[in-house]
């Protein structure tokens, strides 16, 4: 789960890393009061207004603006709030005090899947797009694996300090940032924490001027963070949510044939069968072992509302689940939803399949298939009809 900058920064601050003084925009807020507060100890007036989006490259797209005069503030807010950056609507604004920047450093910890370890990455080219640095001047990035999950050894800190040429008076606070970043990475089950830029100010302070945080999707930490900050991820597809509530394993794809299958292995094989018959699946859907009417109904309902779906292929293997029960579930679901207009192909095999076929044969809606490949072919034909 990805989090916007303002949340990532709060998590850094909780860990003890210095962040700029800031305010999150709300419609009711007093902009003048905010301006006075954030500019009160600046030598030069001004604040930074930052679009809150999950994508990178916001600065280049015009989503980070320096406002020097309070009279320009309202207009800048309106402009940025109306922006769409890389197809993402701006979800909010973060106001920050202006920093007097001497140097910008890049630092991150990411899970390296090849090495199966978190690695810490450091570069003196902070503020820039790190992918560009990595491809043009890879020698300007230091990568060091973390041998212990949440702990940086002193020798590692010394190497990082030397590589980034951290001045003597900042060494302790820089080492502190590195240590705390590793602790945060570990504590929140992250796949990435990034500070770009980590700023050294003219006054010799080390401040996280930008932050990114991604938690592992298999960890519960993402949900905990979301709850703590009352945050609703804009990424969350409403259909994914519905599917999760109905306890379905559902992944949206971009093909034309909706799939409803029991068992993940069979669901994958079904997708292959469709591809071999000349069309792509619109989803991966494993309804699980039970296949009760509620689940069958919820699954068909989600499929029927998926844009681009032209036909449905239901492929059930009755091992523990009885095929006649699934068939009854399908009939009941159809009664509840007379509006379903998509052609439906059903292949049922295994326990009580004869009874199941008898049940479904009474209803003209269902096209019965003799085998999985026959079903895939029929579903593809109907999707093109």
User: Shortest Cβ distance from residue 320 to ligand GDP (Å)?
Assistant: 51
Of these, 17, 64, 193, 285, which contacts ligand GDP (CB under 6 A)?
64
User: Shortest Cβ distance from residue 211 to ligand GDP (Å)?
Assistant: 9
Tell me the residue length of the chain. Answer: 385
A 10 A CB-CB count for 75 gives: 10
> By CB under 5 A, is residue 210 in contact with Mn ion?
yes
Q: Which region, judged by CB under 6 A, interacts with ligand GDP, from 33-41, 99-107, 264-272, 339-347?
A: 99-107
Query: Which of the choices Mn ion, ligand GDP, none does residue 81 contact, using the CB cut-off of 5 to 8 A by kind?
Result: none
> By CB under 6 A, is residue 92 in contact with ligand GDP?
no
Residue nearest to ligand GDP (CB): 59
Exposure pattern of 186-195 as b/e (b: 16+ CB <10 Å)?
bebbbbbbbb
Cα separation, 356 vs 325, whole angstroms: 8
Among the listed residues 20, 17, 1, 14, the one whose alpha carbon sits nearest the alpha carbon of residue 187:
14
User: Shortest Cβ distance from residue 54 to ligand GDP (Å)?
Assistant: 11
Among the listed residues 156, 152, 306, 172, the one whose alpha carbon sits nearest the alpha carbon of residue 240:
306
**DSSP codes of every residue in 217-256:** TTSSHHHHHHHHTT---TT--HHHHHHHHTT-EEEE-SSS
Closest CB to ligand GDP among 64 and 271?
Answer: 64
Of these, 19, 38, 99, 261, which contacts ligand GDP (CB under 6 A)?
99
Q: Which region, judged by CB under 5 A, interacts with Mn ion, from 166-174, 204-212, 223-231, 249-257?
A: 204-212
For the CA atoms of 88, 90, 92, 188, the dihedral, rounded to the nearest 10 degrees, stands at 20
User: H-type helices in 119-170, by residue range?
Assistant: 130-136, 154-163
Q: Determine the 3-state secondary structure of 114 from DSSP.
A: coil
Closest CB to ligand GDP among 99 and 120?
Answer: 99
Among the listed residues 7, 13, 21, the one whose alpha carbon sits nearest the alpha carbon of residue 234:
7
Cα separation, 167 vs 3, whole angstroms: 32
User: H-type helices in 247-343, by residue range?
Assistant: 264-276, 293-304, 323-336
> By CB under 6 A, is residue 19 in contact with ligand GDP?
no
Q: Which region, judged by CB under 6 A, interacts with ligand GDP, from 94-102, 172-180, 224-232, 246-254?
A: 94-102
> By CB under 5 A, is residue 96 in contact with Mn ion?
no
For residue 6, indicate whether it is catalytic: no
Among the listed residues 50, 26, 3, the one whose alpha carbon sits nearest the alpha carbon of residue 236:
3
| Candidate list 106, 235, 294, 353, residue with the active-site label | 106
Count, residues near Mn ion per rule CB under 5 A: 2
| Candidate list 194, 228, 235, 236, residue with the active-site label | 194
> By CB under 6 A, is residue 209 in contact with ligand GDP?
yes
Closest CB to Mn ion among 108 and 295?
Answer: 108
Query: Which of the choices ligand GDP, Mn ion, none does residue 88 contact, using the CB cut-off of 5 to 8 A by kind?
Result: none
Of these, 10, 196, 277, 367, which contacts Mn ion (CB under 5 A)?
196
Among the listed residues 141, 152, 165, the one whose alpha carbon sits nearest the alpha carbon of residue 118:
152
User: Shortest Cβ distance from residue 127 to Mn ion (Å)?
Assistant: 6
For residue 194, indicate whether it is catalytic: yes
> By CB under 6 A, is residue 195 in contact with ligand GDP?
no
CB of 252 within 8 A of CB of 240? yes
The site for ligand GDP (CB under 6 A) is made up of 48, 50, 58-59, 64, 96, 98-99, 101, 104, 127, 196-197, 209-210
Q: Give the residue numbers marked as catalytic.
A: 106, 194
């Amino acid at each position: 789960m990805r989090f916007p900058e303002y949340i990532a920064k709060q998590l850094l601050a909780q860990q003890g890393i210095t962040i700029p003084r800031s305010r999150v925009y709300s419609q009711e807020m007093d902009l003048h009061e905010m301006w006075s507060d954030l500019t009160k100890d600046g030598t030069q007036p001004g604040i930074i207004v930052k679009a809150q989006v999950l994508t990178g490259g916001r600065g280049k797209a015009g989503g980070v603006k320096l406002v020097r005069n309070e009279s320009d503030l309202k207009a800048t807010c309106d402009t940025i709030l109306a922006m769409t950056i890389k197809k993402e609507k701006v979800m909010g604004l973060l106001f920050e005090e202006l920093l007097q920047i001497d140097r910008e450093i890049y630092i991150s910890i990411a899970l390296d899947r090849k090495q199966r370890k978190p690695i810490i990455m450091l570069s003196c080219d902070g503020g820039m797009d790190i992918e560009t640095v990595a491809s043009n001047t890879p020698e300007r990035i230091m990568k060091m694996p973390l041998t212990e999950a949440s702990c940086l050894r002193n020798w590692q800190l010394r190497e990082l300090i030397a590589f980034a040429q951290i001045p003597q008076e900042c060494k302790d606070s820089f080492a502190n940032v590195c240590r705390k970043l590793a602790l945060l990475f570990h504590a929140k089950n992250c796949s990435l924490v990034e500070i770009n830029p980590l700023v050294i100010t003219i006054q010799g302070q080390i401040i996280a001027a930008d932050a990114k945080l991604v938690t592992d999707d298999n960890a519960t930490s993402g949900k905990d963070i979301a709850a703590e900050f009352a945050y609703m991820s804009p990424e969350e597809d409403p259909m994914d949510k519905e599917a999760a509530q109905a306890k379905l394993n559902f992944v949206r794809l971009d093909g034309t044939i909706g799939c409803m299958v029991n068992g993940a292995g069979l669901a994958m094989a079904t997708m292959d069968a469709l591809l071999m018959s000349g069309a792509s699946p619109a989803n991966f859907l494993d309804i699980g072992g039970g296949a009760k009417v509620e689940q069958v109904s919820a699954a068909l309902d989600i499929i029927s509302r998926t844009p681009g779906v032209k036909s449905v292929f239901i492929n059930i293997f009755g091992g523990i689940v009885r095929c006649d029960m699934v068939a009854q579930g399908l009939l009941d679901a159809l009664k509840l939803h007379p509006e379903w207009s998509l052609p439906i192909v059903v292949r049922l095999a295994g326990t009580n399949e004869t009874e199941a076929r008898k049940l479904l044969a009474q209803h003209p809606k269902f096209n019965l298939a003799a085998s999985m490949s026959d079903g895939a072919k029929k579903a593809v034909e109907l999707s093109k009809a």
